[in-house]
């Protein structure tokens, strides 16, 4: 077989190879880096302090889990990460990067497992206690908790609150209170996915000592990504909250008219698309059940803006993030049946010299094809081709959200970031 073919076809490669002989201890971090900031750098440093020698970012692309567009393109974010301590960036495909926490975590863990050479999955949490998070993950797998969860959902509570109430009814309040914080919840979902896939990867958590999720506090050198994005939209200086290398990349992207991307730049296009959808079409979207399509349909035909639409659909049970994801999935044509697909490839967005070392090991251990050029998709199966077609459509739509409207087809021509 030709050397290049060997690189892209790992379906027949051995399941596992020990990496200890290579003096490598590889960690993975699931991320959005929207944008990369000092808190992220702190997370990387703390992860390396426990002995991790090489770091992989499993990163969302142009659209993110909160149901919106990334402010910066995936290639700009990959460069930020590589200039700040990450060694290899692989893309979390859009079906999973825009999913609910459970599917988001499952997609990321599946990718981590598929590389076959990762020792640790590191994530930030408000709790900072991996044993407590593991205990909750184990508890949430039993039938008693699942029955309590269903009862709470039927009472009209959203998913996060339902989990908390279910846990509170059978466990100590201390454990239930852990679910008050979004990064704890996401961390628990990572652990559940590791258990579900019988993964050999060990979860570790770094306690967040910086700006809390969605915090608007601007003191010191740490704040949340939400606060940074808000300041960027107001043309405020954010340099004290981000590494110097990231500041330069952000300025370059802004000067070119590539950032900040904003979903509201396509507001009328989104509303137009939604008004063309039937109740049946809406019911096929992810997380639309129990008659929610009726509420969506009525709101779509009454609202005159995206924000008004969100407000009209929102209830105690249907919180904003779920609604935003549903509307985004309609815009991007992501339907619920796509989640029956298994992730078909590992797509590389960028690497540095240590990243090359990871890839050298991954040649021997990866269970999926590793893709470095879009043209290699044509060699793969139909799932891979269909997923990449969806990535191309999403990239073309993303290019109307940027300050300068960009042409179609860039997903086929953009090159890997190498630093």
- Confidence (pLDDT) at 214: 53
**DSSP codes joined into one string, 294-311:** HHHHHHHHH-SSHHHHHH
> E strands within 353-393?
370-371
Q: Which H or E element spans position 165?
A: helix 159-170
Strand partners, 123: 205
Q: Collapsing DSSP states into helix, strand and coil, what is residue 261? A: coil
Q: Say if CB 199 and CB 109 are below 8 A apart.
A: yes
Cα dihedral sign, 168-173-178-182: positive
CA distances from 96 to 78, 105, 120, 314 (A): 18, 8, 21, 23
Q: Are 163 and 179 in contact (CB under 8 A)?
A: yes
Instruction: Please report which residue ranges of 217-352 form alpha helices under DSSP H.
Output: 225-233, 244-256, 267-275, 279-283, 292-302, 306-313, 320-332
> What 3-state DSSP class applies to 26?
strand
Express each pLDDT in 90-103 by its tens digit: 999 999 999 999 99
CATH topology of domain 3-126+207-262+343-418: Rossmann fold (3.40.50)
Which phi and psi angles does 118 have, rounded to 5°? -95, 130
- Check if the beta carbon of residue 141 is closer than 8 Å to that of residue 102: no
Give per-residue pLDDT as tens, 217-244: 676 799 999 999 999 999 999 999 999 9
Residue 212's pLDDT is 53
Question: Mean pLDDT, 10 residues at a time, over the chain (419 residues)?
Answer: 36 33 86 97 97 98 97 98 98 98 97 98 97 91 74 72 76 79 94 96 90 61 93 94 98 98 97 98 95 97 98 92 97 97 98 98 97 95 98 98 97 96
- Tell me the sheet residues that pair with 58: 30, 90
pLDDT at 9: 36
Query: What's the pLDDT score for residue 104?
Result: 98
Q: Which SS3 state, helix, strand or coil, does residue 274 take?
A: helix
Contact 32, 79 (CB under 8 A): no
Residue/partner pairs of 384-389 with CB below 8 Å, 24 or more apart: 384/344, 384/345, 386/341, 387/93, 387/95, 387/341, 387/344, 387/345
- The DSSP code sequence of 199-212 is --PEEEEEE--SPP
Contact 341, 95 (CB under 8 A): yes
Q: Is residue 105 within 8 Å of residue 194, measured between CB atoms?
A: no
For CATH 3.40.50, the residue range(s) in the chain are 3-126+207-262+343-418
List all residues 6 or more positions away from 31 whose beta carbon is below 8 Å from its beta carbon: 40, 57, 58, 59, 60, 81
In this predicted structure, what is the pLDDT of residue 84?
Answer: 98
pLDDT at position 172, please?
Answer: 67
Cis peptide before 387 (omega within 30 of 0): no
């Amino acid at each position: 077989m030709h050397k290049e073919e060997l690189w892209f076809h790992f379906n027949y490669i051995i399941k596992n190879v020990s990496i200890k002989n290579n003096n490598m201890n590889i960690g993975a971090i699931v991320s959005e880096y929207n944008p990369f900031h000092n808190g992220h750098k702190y997370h990387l440093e703390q992860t390396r302090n426990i002995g991790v020698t090489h770091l992989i970012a499993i990163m969302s692309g142009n659209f993110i889990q909160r149901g919106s567009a990334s402010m910066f393109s995936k290639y700009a974010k990959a460069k930020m990460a590589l200039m700040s301590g990450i060694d290899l960036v692989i893309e979390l495909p859009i079906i999973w990067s825009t999913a609910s926490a459970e599917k988001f975590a499952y997609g990321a863990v599946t990718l981590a497992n598929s590389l076959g050479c990762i020792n640790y999955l590191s994530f930030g949490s408000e709790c900072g206690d991996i044993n407590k998070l593991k205990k909750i993950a184990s508890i949430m797998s039993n039938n008693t908790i699942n029955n309590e969860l269903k009862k709470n959902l039927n009472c009209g509570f959203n998913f996060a609150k339902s989990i908390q109430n279910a846990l509170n009814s059978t466990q100590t309040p201390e454990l239930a209170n852990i679910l008050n914080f979004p990064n704890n919840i996401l961390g628990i979902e990572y652990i559940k996915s590791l258990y579900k896939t019988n993964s050999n990867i060990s979860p570790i958590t770094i306690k967040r000592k910086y700006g809390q999720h969605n915090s608007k506090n601007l003191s010191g050198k740490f704040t949340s990504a939400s606060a940074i994005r808000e300041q960027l939209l107001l043309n405020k200086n954010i340099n004290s909250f981000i590494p110097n290398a990231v500041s330069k990349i952000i300025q370059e992207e802004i000067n070119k008219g590539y950032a900040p991307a904003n979903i509201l730049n396509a507001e009328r296009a989104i509303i137009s698309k939604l008004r063309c959808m039937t109740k049946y079409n809406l019911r096929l979207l992810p997380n639309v059940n129990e008659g929610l399509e009726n509420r969506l349909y009525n709101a779509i035909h009454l609202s005159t803006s995206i924000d008004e639409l969100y407000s009209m659909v929102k209830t105690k049970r249907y919180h904003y993030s779920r609604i935003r994801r549903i509307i985004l999935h309609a815009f991007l044509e992501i339907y619920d049946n796509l989640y029956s697909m298994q992730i078909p490839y590992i797509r590389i967005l960028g690497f540095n010299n240590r990243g090359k070392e990871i890839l050298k090991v991954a040649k021997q251990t990866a269970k999926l094809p590793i893709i470095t050029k879009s043209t290699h998709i044509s060699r793969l199966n139909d799932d891979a081709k269909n997923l990449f077609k969806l990535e191309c459509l999403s990239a073309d739509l993303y290019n109307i959200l940027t300050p300068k409207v960009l042409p179609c087809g860039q997903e086929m021509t953009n090159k890997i970031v190498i630093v």
